[in-house]
Amino acid sequence: MGFNSVVIKAQGASKENGFFNGIRQAKEMVEANVIGLVTETLSKKEAVEE
């Protein structure tokens, strides 16, 4: 499916606070296992459609 890791993209004009928030958001996504949950949900949806 292409889901292997969390990616956070910021604009080049981001200041320190924006950079910090991007790191914080990535950390929260990893801790919440977002990639695993999305992969699991999509796998179940594909199984139902087949």
Average pLDDT, the chain: 90
User: What are the CA-CA distances from residue 3 to residues 18, 20, 31, 33 (Å)?
Assistant: 24, 23, 16, 12
Strands in the chain per DSSP E: none
Phi, psi torsion values for 49, nearest 5 degrees: -75, -20
Alpha carbon distance 16, 6 (integer Å) = 20
Q: What is the pLDDT of residue 2?
A: 66
Q: Give per-residue pLDDT as tens, 10-24.
A: 888 999 999 999 999
The pTM score is 0.75
Alpha carbon distance 4, 34 (integer Å) = 11
Residue with the bigger pLDDT between 3 and 47: it is 47
Alpha carbon distance 10, 25 (integer Å) = 12
Domain ranges, ordered by start, for the chain: 18-49
3 has a pLDDT exceeding 80: no
